[in-house]
Amino acid sequence: MKILTVIGARPQFIKACMLSDHLKSDSTLEEIMVHTGQHYDENMSEVFFKQLKLPKPDYYLGVGSGSHGQQTGKMLIELEKVMIDVKPNLVLVYGDTNSTLAGGLAASKLHIPVAHVESGLRSFNKNMPEEINRVITDHLADWLFCPSHTAVENLKREGIKKGVYRTGDIMYDAVLRFKHHALQQSTIIEALSLTEVDYYLATIHRAENTDSPERLKSILNAFQQLDMEVILPLHPRTERKINQFGLTEFISSSPIKIVEPLHYFDMLAVASQAKAILTDSGGVQKEAYMLQVPCMTLRDETEWVETIRSGWNHLVGADSQLIVDTVKSFQVPKQYPQLFGDGNTSKTIIDILKKSK
């Protein structure tokens, strides 16, 4: 079976790493990897391949940045060429990025079956580009690999029942495998002079926060009021918006400590030792749960509703006072339900695909 894997963003590199290991060890399976170039700089792309020992992509499209339409359109054109050349038995896509949507669309137009890893997530906010990407991809997919019971139920409500599998979350595979390596190999804790559970980790990158001067100012203002150091790896777009909106005063003094965007091992190390995580990232919310670190989500809704119900994650939006009050009053739940499987998602997915040959 010839499998064409489409990736383009950091979370996809991590997920693909777990499946690629299983694909390489099976002589009946052949993986052809396509990197769209959605994340294209050294820290956002190449270093992840080196750390995770991902095979070098067979095709690198170099699409780069642009509007959603431009980026997705370029990917569609180039992916169609690759698929016609490779003639895969199926196309494998991950998550909810423009690369995911382009891979699913290009394959379906060529009548190539699509497998979607991380199916069934819903924020129910169609202003999020990711929501559009994931909904369309799910309706195109032939195999829908769901990380949780909630994801299966979301698909059922949309009338999607065929080809749906609850496999667990492939990111949990990665956390279990790499947490120990990260703590051993990363020097970030020492470099930043951090002490376990004596700091907060924060990330801001989502357009609803970065493109709104009011929301961005409110979030940064909340960080300034927290009782411990706030480590803030600054996303390039967030930095541009802070400068554009004249908010540099909020990040130029204690307790905020600005650092460059972190590669996977550094991020995993810092996240695992934080007292709490404040983020608008879907992936970071989920990793916080997997690392058993309390999370405050800087959004008005989330696709990871299970983490909210468990009590380990709280929605705080961009309300400065609510952010501060929630951090102060948060109590670690006594229960920790296994929401995302047993860490064998990669093998489960491969077994399902092989049975479908």
Looking at residue 313, its pLDDT comes to: 98
Contact 329, 308 (CB under 8 A): no
- Average pLDDT of the residues in 316-341: 96
DSSP state letters, 124-163: --TTSHHHHHHHHHHHH-SEEEESSHHHHHHHHHTT--TT
Q: What are phi and psi of 157, to 5 degrees?
A: -65, -25
Structure tokens at 76: 């569609």
Highest mean pLDDT among 122-131, 215-224, 348-357: 215-224
How far apart are the C-alpha atoms of 272 and 279, rounded to whole Å? 14
**Average pLDDT over the chain, rounded to an integer:** 94
How far apart are the C-alpha atoms of 275 and 295, rounded to whole Å? 9
The vertex-80 CA angle with 74 and 82, nearest 5°, equals 105
Looking at residue 347, its pLDDT comes to: 95
* pLDDT grade for 236, boundaries at 50, 70 and 90: confident
Q: What are phi and psi of 109, to 5 degrees?
A: -65, -25
* pLDDT grade for 235, boundaries at 50, 70 and 90: confident
Count of residues making up the chain:
357
Q: Which residues are catalytic?
A: 205
CA-nearest of 44, 42, 24 to 33 is: 24
Which structural domains are found in the chain, ordered by start?
A: 2-169+341-355 (3.40.50.2000), 177-329 (3.40.50.2000)
* pLDDT grade for 50, boundaries at 50, 70 and 90: confident
Listed in sequence order, the residues at least 6 apart from 149 whose beta carbon sits closer than 8 Å to its beta carbon are: 166, 306
How far apart are the C-alpha atoms of 283 and 329, rounded to whole Å? 24
CA distances from 293 to 108, 277, 290 (A): 39, 7, 8
Helix (H) / strand (E) containing 166: strand 164-166
Structure tokens at 85: 């050349």
Q: pLDDT of 72-116, one tens digit each?
A: 999 999 999 999 999 999 999 999 999 999 999 999 999 999 999
CA-nearest of 155, 156, 71, 158 to 116 is: 155
How far apart are the C-alpha atoms of 344 and 170, rounded to whole Å? 8
- Average pLDDT of the residues in 168-191: 94
Contact 119, 146 (CB under 8 A): yes
- Amino acid identity of residue 236, one-letter, is P
Looking at the chain, the whole-number percentage of residues with pLDDT higher than 90 is: 84
User: Residue 44: pLDDT above 60?
Assistant: no
DSSP state letters, 291-347: TT--EEE-SS--S-HHHHHTTSEEE-TT-HHHHHHHHHH----S----TT-SS-HHH
Looking at residue 45, its pLDDT comes to: 58
Looking at residue 335, its pLDDT comes to: 95
